[in-house]
Structure 1
Amino acid sequence: MNDAAYGAEYHLLGRFGLLVEDSCFPDSDFAAVARSLGARGATVARDADLDAVADWLAAPDRPLVVDCKIEPSAMAPWFRVVFALKEAQNRQ
């Protein structure tokens, strides 16, 4: 998952009211890096982009790197749990 940010830092900065932009960086094209090394590379930013993955699954001939673009604000469910536990500890 490629959020063009340091994900945990993004959420922690936001949690403390600091600038989340400080954890962001220009997007990287990991699919292009994979292709330059002889693997297949696919960039997925929308549902239609998954066709490249389906094509590879039909005839996998070498490794595939899927560069899944996501919003930096997307938070993993487990990270929400960590925040909730920390808040519960702080209330005790």
Structure 2
Amino acid sequence: MISSRQTKIQLRNSYPYNEALDDLVEFFNRRIKNDFRKKELLDYLEKCRREKTVTFRYIYEKFIEYTNENKDYEELTDKDREMIDDLFHFWG
């Protein structure tokens, strides 16, 4: 059975790695306040860009680890949720 949330979300036809990484850079710049952790994640995204891949499960785990350690968590917007769903679909 498909939930009502799933019926509202339309996954992209593709999610090129540069676009995915650009979206993640913007997301982390908005959400991560700790400069060291932000730099760590942004540096990792640059490594992904050089390797032309997005290791999203690892990236997501690091983000969740950050939010748990820092108790720094805002509720995700619908746009953020859709991006994360797309990232898991194409790169998870």
Relative to the length of structure 1, the TM-score reads 0.28
Larger Rg: 1
More strand by share: 1
Relative to the length of structure 2, the TM-score reads 0.28
